[in-house]
Amino acid sequence: MTRMTRVKQGFRVELAPTPEQAEVMGRHAGLSRYVENYALDKIRSAFAQRAAEQSYGVPADQLTRAPWTAVDLEKLWRAEHPRVAPWFARSGLSSRVPKEACRLRAAGLQNWWESKTGKRKGRKVGFPKLRKRKHGSRFRYDADRAKPASERAVMLPGIPGKVATHEPLSWLTERLADGRARIIGCTVREQAGRWWVTFQLDVDRADLNGLRAVEAEAPTCGIDLGLKTFAVIVDDTGEVEEVQAPRALKAAQRRLRRANKALHRKQMGSANRAKARQRVAEIHLKVAHRRGDFLHQLTTRLARTKRAIAVESLNVAGMIRNRRMARAVSDAGFGEFIRQLTYKTDWYGSKVWVADRWYPSSKTCSACGAVNSGLTLAQRLWVCQCGAEHDRDHNAARNLLAAMHAT
C-alpha cells in the first residue's frame, strides 16, 4: 500500500547550451542578482525610514510601509526600472526573471521575520544579504513558462532557440502529456561552467510508488550514524550491515589544496586565474556529485527494502561548530541522509521513526538496559556490568530498533 501519490518533486537535467545560449543565460542570472539586490535596497531603505520616523514620535499607523511582499517589490521594480535600469527594456531578457527574483527576496524576508518571532522552527535565519556573483549564477521562471520542447530539448523564455539536454526528458514529457505531472516552477543554475535546469513538479507518483513499494513482510531496522562508520544497520532478523561513506571531500583534499595554491598564484583578473578558478569549482562539483550519488543510492535501497527504519536525531549544526570534526561531519552529509530517507519512505510505503535527541542509544546496554553514563566518545568497545560486550555503534543501532518497536 502506497502513501502520498501526489507530491511536490524536482526533476533535474543537465543542459547542453550553445556558447550564445550560455551567454544569454549568464545575463539572465545577472538580471536576477541585480533585481534581488534592488529589492533588498528598497527593503533596507524602508526600514531605515521607519526607524527614523519612530525616533521622531510618528504614530505607528503613519509609519512608512515597508515592501514586505513579492507584489510590493514587483510593483516597485515595474515603476522604477525605466529609471534605475534603462538597459532592461532593450536587453531582450525575460520579464519573468525579475518577478521570481522579487518572490525569492520576499520569501527570504518572511523566513527571517518568522525565525525572529519564533514562528519558524530550526536554526535562526538571518536578515537577507546582498547577492554577489561568487554566490553562484541562477535564475527562476514561474509556473510552466519554461518547459520541455522535445525529449532532448527545453524552451526557456528569453533564451534563443531550443536548449539541448544531455539526458532524455521522456520521464517528464510522458507525465506532462497525460496529466500526471504539472510544472509549477523552474530554476536554471550554473556550476563549474555547466548548466542545469530543475523543474519543480506537482506529480502523481501512484505508478512508481506501487511498482517499487516495500513488501509487507520486509524487515525493520535501526541505523546508527557515525564518522568512523557512516551507518551501522541492524535488522530485526539479527543481520548487521556496516556502510562506509566515500568521504569525497577528504579524498579530494590533496587536489583541492594544489588547485587553490595554483589559483592564488595567478594574477587578479587574468585569463589564467579564471581557468584556475574553474578548476577549483570542478573539483568541488565532483565532490558534491560523489557524495550525492552515495546518499541517493543508500536511501533509495533502504526505503524500498525496510518496512520501518529507526534513526537518531542528530544536532548537525552543533556538531559542525566543533572545529575538530566540522569537516568530517559536513563531508558525511547526515542531514541530507535523513531528509532523503524521510521523503523516500513516504513514497514507497515504509516509515521513519526518529528517536529523541537525548536518548542514550550508545550508552544503554541492549542486553540488560543499564545505562553506562561514564562512556566516552573515544571508547568504541565497552563491557556492561551484566557481562555483555558491546561495539558502541552496533549497540546503538540495536537500541534504536528496540525503542521503535516499544513505541
User: Catalytic amino acids?
Assistant: 224, 312, 393
Beta carbons within 8 Å of 292's beta carbon, 6+ residues apart: 336
What is the distance between the alpha carbons of residues 72 and 114, in angstroms, rounded to a whole number? 19
DSSP 42-98: HHHHHHHHHHHHHHTT--GGGSPPP--SHHHHHHHHHHHHHHH-TTTTTT---THHH
Amino acid at 144: D
Q: What would the grid cell of residue 235 be?
A: 535488522
DSSP 217-278: TPPEEEEEE-SSSSEEEEETTS-EEEE----HHHHTHHHHHHHHHHHHHSPTT-HHHHHHHH
Amino acid at 42: K
Which of 367, 312, 356 is closest to 338 using CA atoms? 312
81-93: b or e for each residue (b if 16 or more CB lie within 10 Å)? beeebeebeeeeb
Which of 81, 89, 90 is closest to 34 using CA atoms? 81
Amino acid at 5: T
